[in-house]
Amino acid sequence: MKAIQMVDLKSQYEDIKQEVDERIQGVLNTSSFINGPEVKRFQEELESYLQVKHVIPCANGTDALQVAMMALGLKPGDEVITTTFTFVATAEVIALLGLVPVLVDCDENTFLISENAVREAITPKTKAIIPVHLFGQCANMEEIMAIAEEHNLFVIEDAAQSIGSSFHFKDGRSQQSGTIGDFGCTSFFPSKNLGCYGDGGALFTNDDALAEKARMVVNHGMKVRYYHDEIGVNSRLDSIQAAVLSVKLQRLNDYGNARRAAAWHYDEAFKDLPEVITPERVRNSCHVFHQYTLRIVGLDRNALQKHMMDNGVPAMIYYPVPLHQQKAYRDERYEDGHFPVAEQLALEVLSLPMHTELDKQQLEKITNTLREYVIANR
Ligand SMILES: *Cc1c(COP(=O)(O)O)cnc(C)c1O
């Protein structure tokens, strides 16, 4: 049996090696490394996959979030609401721009931002909401868009973990995650569901004016070369990464199916263990399982993790500390205990290996190792 990894990028590459190598060689042959034809091609392929008017490629997912806030014209002092239970990038760029991160709690079953908490956090200074489609399923965009409309707020979807997932509205419409708000932002970090072989990211929008603005911001605030209308940044997706992404985008749905099959195997294996709570699926989103995250209750989660690691089964804690308890984001507004759900989740969550190359033998080893410990230690 192949060693089990949280993410197995090497086996995935071996499967698509010929095509990837040819496309990378093609970039080398033309030596059009920045803004080459591969970037344009991937941009159009992704627009068509997502059914969105504009994809603006950039250097990484963190930049995508920053560029979205700059393009929306948010100003220092503006409040931006997001969840305390997420990867730091979401709040980092809010703070970096001098905006005020307003954190809220999440739902204990889905790990997603709580819409009620968003509603309660709105003040006259609130300008935007950043729902995070955490672990691969969509936050309740129907509610969030309704709240935003009612209070005249922007919505920036953090779709770094959810590309390929879609949200189903009550009226029967479906939209890809990241294409519902004013902007959607994603990351092509290698371990993400659509990952390149370095750093990469993109913004999505259906608004022509916002797209034009974002294209300027990523390119030093210029439309006409060497004429700078705004303060911008330098954030580009390079051609080699775009070539890799173009190859992998064709397989994104198959990759999603492989992840869902692994998730289904996990669900089945832990059904009879009350100490192991499998991740709830929300009804109005499909799940692309960026992570498969359990809650371990009434048992020592850290000891279980160590048991798994000692037996050659990686398992990780996403995330061990909610943002409001991080040193850099500590704030007198948020004492310990302020966000009880996120604080509890930080003690309970355990993510299992999740990627496109897990075989039956590996899945059985993972589930058996976890089951052994739970049954022996109850
Ligand atoms: C990965 C990630 C980001 C940042 O993406 P980078 O490409 O690493 O900058 C932002 N938000 C979330 C939720 C992420 O998981």
pLDDT score, position 376: 97
| Burial class, 107, CB count within 10 angstroms (exposed 0-12 / middle 13-18 / buried 19+) | buried
Q: Is the CB of 132 under 6 A from ligand 1?
A: yes
Is residue 297 helix, strand or coil?
coil
* 369 within ligand 1 shell (Cβ under 6 A): no
Q: Are 291 and 161 within 8 A, CB to CB? A: yes
The pLDDT tens digits of the residues spanning 267-315 come to: 999 999 999 999 999 999 999 999 999 999 999 999 999 999 999 999 9
Could you give the residue range(s) of every CATH 3.40.640.10 domain in the chain?
Answer: 9-105+112-249
Instruction: Give the closest residue (by CA) to ligand 1 atom 10.
Output: 89
Give the pLDDT band (50/70/90) at residue 369. Answer: very high
The CA distance from 166 to 179, in Å, is: 9
Whether ligand 1 lies within 6 angstroms of the CB of 187 is answered as yes
**Is 177 near ligand 1, meaning CB less than 6 Å away?**
no
Quickly name the fold that domain 252-376 has.
Answer: Aspartate Aminotransferase, domain 1 (3.90.1150)
Q: Which of 60, 82, 187, 316 should be mutated for ligand 1, with most atoms under 8 A from CB? A: 187
Residues 109-129 have pLDDT tens digits of: 999 999 999 999 999 999 999
Mean pLDDT, range 4-10, rounded to an integer: 96
pTM: predicted TM-score of the whole model, two decimal places: 0.98
The predicted pLDDT at position 132 comes to 98
What distance in Å separates the CA atoms of residue 260 and residue 272, rounded to the nearest whole number?
20
Q: Enumerate the β-bridge partners of residue 167.
A: 175, 285
Ligand 1 pocket mutation, candidates 161, 194, 290, 351, criterion most atoms within 8 A of CB: 161
- Confidence (pLDDT) at 91: 94
Whether the CB of 190 sits within 6 Å of ligand 1: no
Q: Is the CB of 106 under 6 A from ligand 1?
A: no
Q: Mean pLDDT for the chain?
A: 97
Number of neighbours of residue 229 by Cβ within 10 angstroms? 11
Residue 228 sits at the vertex; the CA angle it makes with 225 and 229, to the nearest 5 degrees, is 125
The reported pLDDT for the residue numbered 311 is 97
Instruction: Please report, rounded to a whole number, the percentage of residues in the chain having pLDDT higher than 90.
Output: 98
Residue nearest to atom 14 of ligand 1 (CA): 160
For residue 189 and ligand 1, the question of a CB distance below 6 A is answered with yes
- Ligand 1 lined by 89 (C-beta under 6 Å): yes
Strands 126-130 and 154-158, bridge-based pairing: parallel
> pLDDT at position 133, please?
98
CB contact at 8 A, 167 and 138: yes
- Give pLDDT, residue 231: 93
Q: What is the DSSP string of 144-161?
A: HHHHHHHHT-EEEEE-TT
pLDDT at 228: 93
Encode pLDDT of 212-262 as tens digits: 999 999 999 999 999 999 999 999 999 999 999 999 999 999 999 999 999
Q: The CATH number of 9-105+112-249 is which of 3.40.50.720, 3.30.565.10, 3.20.20.70, 3.40.640.10?
A: 3.40.640.10
CA dist., res. 189 & res. 184, Å (int): 16
Phi, psi for 353 (deg, rounded to 5): -50, 135
* Per-residue burial over 49-73, b = 16 or more CB atoms within 10 Å of its CB, e = otherwise: bbebebbbbbbbbbbbbbbbbbbbe
Determine the distance separating the centroid of ligand 1 and the alpha carbon of 376, expressed in angstroms.
37
CATH 3.90.1150.10-classified regions of the chain? 252-376
What does the pLDDT read at residue 279? 97
Instruction: Quote the distance between the C-alpha of residue 286 and its chain's center.
Output: 14
- Each as own residue / partner, the long-range contacts of residues 328-332 (CB below 8 Å, 24 or more positions apart, any chain) are 328/88, 329/88, 329/91, 329/95, 329/101, 329/103
pLDDT at residue 281, as a whole number: 96
Q: Give the Cα-Cα-Cα angle 140, 146, 147 (nearest 5 degrees).
A: 90
Q: Which of 89, 63, 16 is nearest to 233 (CA)?
A: 63
* pLDDT value of position 162: 98
